Amino acid sequence: MKEEVAAAVCLIGRLVRRGGRLEPEFVERFCSALEDALRARYGGHWYPERPSRGQAYRCIRLNGHQRADPTLLTACRKSGVPYADLALPREITVWVDPAEVCCRYSERSYAFTVVRFDTVLDREEAAQHMERATLHAAGDVSPSKVGSSPSSSSDENSEKMDCASPRGQSRCTWNRSSPTPAMPMFQVSFRELLLLP
């Protein structure tokens, strides 16, 4: 659970930093409080043998019906950061599951994999991957660009996401037979990735 929570915190922290309303020390303070809040919340709801069990409970969600996620509010309260200063996208969903973190930046978009813990990336690859995931979560790139390297063409990497049924399956899977580079285990700390440009 530690790595998955750290990945979710890194993604949200990068989105907060991208919003530009908080100084780096306040982003770090918020991220630390968010990490503690998520670990406390997910403690009794973590099922590595059945990752889809409890997905709804482990979901961080903002949309027109839920403008503030309770876990984000808890982290704001503990860190002293005003919720409005997070400047998060209006609609975003982050699923934190055993061995996988997925995200959807709009209720009408495809979900995409932020990280899966079955591939190893070095520091530079991890930084590029997290930047692409952050841009996608902010709605700045299409799903087909998230898993691609900066030099690959969209034709070579035109995979489509499948937001599969949460029952018995991962919510985020790639409709493609070869492994995607969008499934890394980072050899660097998520705190380090949070601070990278």
Cα separation, 97 vs 75, in Å, equals: 20
> Could you give the C-alpha distances from 151 to 4, 128, 130, 156, in angstroms and in order?
28, 12, 16, 10
Q: Which amino acid is at 50?
A: R
Q: How confident is the model at residue 155 (pLDDT cuts 50, 70, 90)?
A: very low
Q: How confident is the model at residue 126 (pLDDT cuts 50, 70, 90)?
A: low
**pLDDT on residue 148:** 37
DSSP state of 84: G
Q: Say which range, 20-34, 81-95, 120-134, 172-186, has the weakest mean pLDDT.
A: 172-186
- Show contacts of 68-74: CB within 8 Å, 24+ apart: 71/34, 71/37, 71/38, 71/41, 72/12, 72/34, 74/33, 74/37
Q: Can you tell me the mean pLDDT for 126-149? A: 61
- CA 84 to centroid of chain Cα atoms: 20
Cα separation, 1 vs 96, in Å, equals: 9
Q: How confident is the model at residue 131 (pLDDT cuts 50, 70, 90)?
A: confident
Best CA proximity match to 147, nearest among 179, 181, 117: 181
In this prediction the pTM is 0.69
- Kindly state the tokens that stand for 127: 């930084």
Percentage of the chain modeled with pLDDT above 70: 65
Q: How confident is the model at residue 163 (pLDDT cuts 50, 70, 90)?
A: very low
Q: Can you tell me the mean pLDDT for 25-30? A: 95
Query: Which helix (H) or strand (E) element contains residue 114?
Result: strand 112-116
Set out the domains of the chain in order of their start, with CATH numbers: 2-195 (3.90.640.90)
143, burial (CB in 10 Å: exposed 0-12, middle 13-18, buried 19+) = buried
Residue 121, helix vs strand vs coil: strand
Cα separation, 139 vs 45, in Å, equals: 30
**pLDDT on residue 68:** 94
Which of the given ranges, 93-97, 115-119, 131-135, 154-158, has the highest pLDDT on average? 93-97
**pLDDT on residue 107:** 84
